[in-house]
């Protein structure tokens, strides 16, 4: 089997679990944004809390996932010690994190709560309409548990991937999302129905259940994370207190630039939502965050593809780094990755008039113009992730720090400057600017320090063509479904005509 075919197979398996989980999770968006659940303000609380958690998840993992793969490649004779060191590093960081946060939960809750008692949910009988300071304290309690548990699962999941067991990885991930979704449905739909129809135990349930309380979403996440931890016990029980001090210090030296690089991605994904809450007036802050967060979900499908690609690509790239034709393999993967993300980009925008119904409350639709820049931002991000192989393989992770630093600075500075005037539209375009800048910098520095023979001209043709088609579809043709899909079909046929032969050849035995 060719290396490219093996890579595609691994990515497909990871992709099935990732796509299934994300799609199932995606279907919670209509639930959250329905008139029976949360108004934009309440959904803004969800978006804000999960944004903070995403940033902190990256910090607690400390780049050790990538470091783990790299050091398995460097020390194939000592895999157990690499595993021990990687997990111990994450465990130590989480303990330090708890020591620095638990004593200050109250002040943290005050900082995060930007609503100041604003209405957060639909005002219906027995429905909670505002989040108090005590609510935010409870949210933080839940999320401290989620953060620590998820951090402790990072290296065991990486071990499963390194051992080439995508099936186990996928099953555990699907169980996690299944529990999360089931509990959400229970709290938001089943229990209100149970109480309303006076079924057995309804009186007891009504004594503690609060309709419209967003904390149930966070509690569902905590339970799902804990069960995931239990499912990973076979990997966790293989950890030994056998560490190599020199290796551990080397791993920290390698991982902290990776941490900064990962943080840039997380910052670009989530800091705009946090800043929207902090920089906009209290009366509209969570409302706008809710609209932005909900409409951003439409770009989820491209994000899923990129995540699936990363899960398959990282161990694959490291394991094939010593092959003499590795550069050509990476370049070919890039060619077809660009085609794939551009097709998804065009397809999402062509069908946005259908996809918008995943947000059933029309009050959210005012935010649909954020989708094209956000999706193209994901195109740039995916290409950047593909390009970043050069500094990881050459142990020059400092360049990842530089590149991600530029992206983070752009995200922070531009959002602070433009959010007060342009709200979430500024955030959408700034996300695109940051990712595109990182993509260009990674290509320029990569070709100087670790040349890979990418087909720049061909890839640019696909990227520019997709941008033109999306502009026509969204702005000129006013999101007409039939015209947009006709352009999508022409784009796909062109790709098949010009690259179909090579696409079939790449999967043949070499």
| Domain presence at residue 304 | yes
| Eight-class DSSP state of 38 | B
Gyration radius (Cα) of the chain, Å? 23
Which of the residue ranges 435-439, 460-464, 471-475, 499-503 would you say has the lowest mean pLDDT? 499-503
Q: Is residue 29 part of a domain?
A: yes
Where are any strands of DSSP class E within 342-426?
none
Structural contact between residues 268 and 432, judged by C-beta atoms closer than 8 angstroms: no
pLDDT computed for residue 124 by the predictor:
42
For residue 23, the model assigns a pLDDT of: 62
In a domain, 491, yes or no: yes
Report the pLDDT value the prediction gives residue 103, as an integer from 0 to 100.
92
Rounded Cα distance between 371 and 364, Å, is 13
Helix (H) or strand (E) holding 166, with range, is: helix 166-185
Q: What integer pLDDT is reported at residue 399 of this predicted model?
A: 85
**Mean pLDDT: which of 149-153, 245-249, 323-327 is highest?**
149-153
Q: Which of these ranges, 39-43, 363-367, 414-418, has the smallest mean pLDDT?
A: 39-43
Bridge partners of 127?
A: 211
Residue-wise pLDDT for 340-392, tens only, equals 999 999 999 999 999 888 888 888 899 999 999 999 999 998 899 888 888 87
Pairwise CA distance, residues 365 & 348, whole Å = 16
pLDDT for residue 482 is more than 60? yes
Q: Considering only residues 450 and 324, tell me which one the structure prediction assigns the higher pLDDT.
A: 450
pLDDT at 100 over 50: yes
* Inside any domain, residue 441: yes
Q: Report how far residue 358's alpha carbon sits from residue 32's, in angstroms, rounded to the nearest whole number.
A: 10
What is the residue-wise DSSP string for 282-345? HHHHHHHHHHHHHHHGGGHHHHHHHHHHHHHHHHHHHHTTTSTTHHHHHHHHHHHHHHHHHHHH
Which ranges in 200-281 belong to alpha helices (H)? 202-208, 215-231, 233-236, 245-279
Reading the block at residue 234, the tokens are: 């076979």
**Residue 125's pLDDT band (boundaries 50, 70, 90)?**
very low
Domain interval for residue 450: 3-505
Which of these, 118, 126, 114, lies nearest to 47 by C-alpha position?
114
Across the chain, mean pLDDT equals 83
Domain assignment present for residue 510? The answer is no
pLDDT of residue 2: 52
151 burial type by CB count under 10 A (0-12 exposed, 13-18 middle, 19+ buried): buried
How many residues are listed for the chain in this entry?
510
CA angle 26, 233, 19 (to 5 degrees): 20
264 and 19 Cβ atoms separated by less than 8 Å? no
Would you tell me the crossing angle of helices 300-319 and 64-74 to the nearest 10 degrees? 20
Q: What values do phi and psi take at 38, rounded to 5?
A: -120, 135
Res. 481 pLDDT band, cuts 50 70 90: very high
pLDDT band at 114 (very low <50, low <70, confident <90, very high): low
Check residue 491 and give its pLDDT. Answer: 94
Question: Is residue 28 one of the residues assigned to a domain?
Answer: yes
pLDDT score recorded for residue 311: 66
Check pLDDT > 50 for residue 123: no
Question: How far apart (Å, rounded) are the C-alpha atoms in residues 458 and 333?
Answer: 13
**Structural domain tally of the chain?**
1
What's the pLDDT at 121?
44
| Integer Cα distance of 452 and 442 in angstroms | 12
Q: How many CB atoms within 10 Å of residue 117? A: 12
388 in any annotated domain: yes
How high is the pLDDT of residue 22? 61
Please tell me whether the overall predicted TM-score, pTM, comes out greater than 0.75 for this model: no
Give the pLDDT band of residue 79 (cuts 50, 70, 90).
confident
Each residue of 153-201: pLDDT tens digit?
A: 999 998 988 887 877 888 898 899 889 989 999 998 899 889 988 898 8
Q: Is the pLDDT of residue 227 over 90?
A: yes
Does position 74 have pLDDT exceeding 70, yes or no? yes
DSSP state letter for 34: S
Place of tokens 């820049």: 373
Per-residue pLDDT at 320: 65
Phi and psi, residue 121, nearest 5°: -130, 170
Comparing 149 with 33, which gets the higher pLDDT? 149
CA distances in angstroms from 466 to 439, 459, 481, listed in the order given:
17, 11, 16
How many CA atoms, within 13 angstroms, populate the side-chain half-sphere of residue 429? 9
| Tokens describing residue 94 | 């989480």
Residue 286: predicted pLDDT = 80
């Amino acid at each position: 089997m060719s290396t490219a075919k093996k890579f595609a197979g691994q990515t497909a398996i990871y992709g099935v679990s990732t796509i299934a989980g994300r799609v199932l999770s995606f279907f919670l968006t209509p639930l959250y944004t329905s008139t029976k659940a949360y108004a934009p303000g309440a959904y803004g609380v969800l978006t804000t809390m999960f944004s903070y958690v995403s940033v902190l998840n990256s910090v607690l993992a400390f780049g050790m996932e990538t470091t783990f793969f790299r050091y398995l490649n460097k020390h194939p004779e000592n895999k157990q010690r690499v595993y021990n060191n990687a997990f111990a590093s994450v465990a130590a960081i989480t303990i330090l994190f708890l020591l620095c946060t638990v004593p200050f939960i109250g002040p943290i809750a005050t900082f995060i709560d930007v609503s100041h008692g604003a209405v957060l949910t639909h005002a219906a009988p027995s429905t909670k309409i505002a989040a108090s300071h005590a609510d935010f304290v409870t949210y933080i309690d839940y999320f401290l548990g989620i953060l620590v548990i998820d951090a402790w699962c990072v290296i065991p999941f990486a071990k499963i991937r390194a051992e080439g067991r995508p099936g186990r990885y996928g099953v555990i991930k699907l169980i996690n999302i299944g529990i999360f979704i089931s509990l959400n449905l229970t709290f938001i739909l089943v229990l209100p129905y149970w109480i309303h129809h006076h079924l057995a135990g309804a009186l007891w349930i009504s004594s503690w259940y609060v309709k419209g309380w967003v904390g149930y979403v966070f509690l569902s996440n905590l339970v799902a994370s804990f069960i995931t931890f239990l499912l990973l016990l076979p990997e966790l029980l293989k950890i030994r207190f056998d560490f190599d001090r020199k290796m551990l210090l080397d791993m920290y030296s390698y991982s902290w630039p990776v941490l900064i690089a990962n943080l840039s991605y997380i910052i670009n994904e989530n800091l705009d939502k946090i800043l929207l809450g902090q920089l906009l007036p209290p009366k509209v802050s969570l409302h706008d965050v809710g609209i932005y967060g909900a409409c951003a979900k439409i770009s989820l499908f491209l994000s899923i593809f990129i995540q699936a690609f990363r899960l398959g690509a990282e161990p694959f790239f490291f394991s094939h780094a010593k092959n003499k034709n590795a550069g050509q393999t990476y370049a070919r993967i890039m060619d077809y990755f660009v085609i794939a993300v551009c097709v998804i980009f065009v397809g999402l925008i062509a069908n946005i008039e259908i996809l918008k119904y995943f947000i059933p409350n029309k009050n959210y639709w005012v935010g649909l113009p954020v989708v094209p820049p956000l999706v193209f931002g994901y195109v740039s991000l995916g290409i950047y992730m593909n390009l970043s192989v050069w500094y990881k393989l050459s142990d020059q992770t400092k360049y990842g720090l530089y590149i991600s630093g530029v992206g983070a600075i752009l995200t922070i500075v531009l959002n602070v400057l433009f959010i007060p005037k342009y709200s979430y539209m500024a955030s959408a375009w700034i996300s695109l600017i940051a990712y595109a800048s990182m993509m260009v910098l990674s290509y320029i520095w990569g070709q100087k320090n670790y040349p890979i023979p990418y087909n720049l001209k061909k890839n640019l043709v696909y990227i520019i063509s997709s941008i033109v088609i999306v502009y026509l579809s969204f702005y000129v043709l006013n999101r007409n479904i039939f015209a947009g899909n006709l352009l999508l079909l022409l784009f796909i046929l062109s790709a098949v005509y010009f690259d179909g032969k090579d696409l079939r050849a790449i999967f043949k035995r070499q």
